[in-house]
Amino acid sequence: MELLNKFRFINKIEGYSFLILLFIAMPLKHIFGLFLATKITGIIHGGLFTLFIYNLIVTFKAKLFTPKETLMFFILSLIPFGSFYTQSVIKNKFDTVREKII
């Protein structure tokens, strides 16, 4: 359960950082010439993405996700707003696991 909560949190933060990079930092760079915006945001997002991949592998090895789900979550992490779909899938899985425990 704790791994699933941790994955959900990292997924959410990584998803927001991706949106900030795409819809705030990139326009600042290309419209206003503020190259520092993408440099800082890109580094932060890169670190969060690496943390996301690490947590994806850990949860897969803990057998919380099937290979199909793991691949789907990885692909969704590359698509803007994909992390929000991942959040809903994980929430449903979280509720199912909680019902089995209780």
pLDDT of residue 99: 64
Residue type for position 70 = T
36-80 pLDDT tens trace = 999 999 999 999 999 999 999 999 999 989 999 999 999 999 999
Quote the pTM value. Answer: 0.88
Instruction: 51-60: list long-range contacts, CB under 8 Å, 24+ apart.
Output: 51/10, 51/14, 52/10, 52/11, 52/14, 52/77, 55/3, 55/6, 55/7, 55/10, 55/11, 56/7, 58/3, 58/7, 59/3, 59/4, 59/7
CB–CB of 43/78 below 8 Å? Answer: no
Could you tell me which of 74, 79, 100 has the C-alpha nearest to residue 1?
100
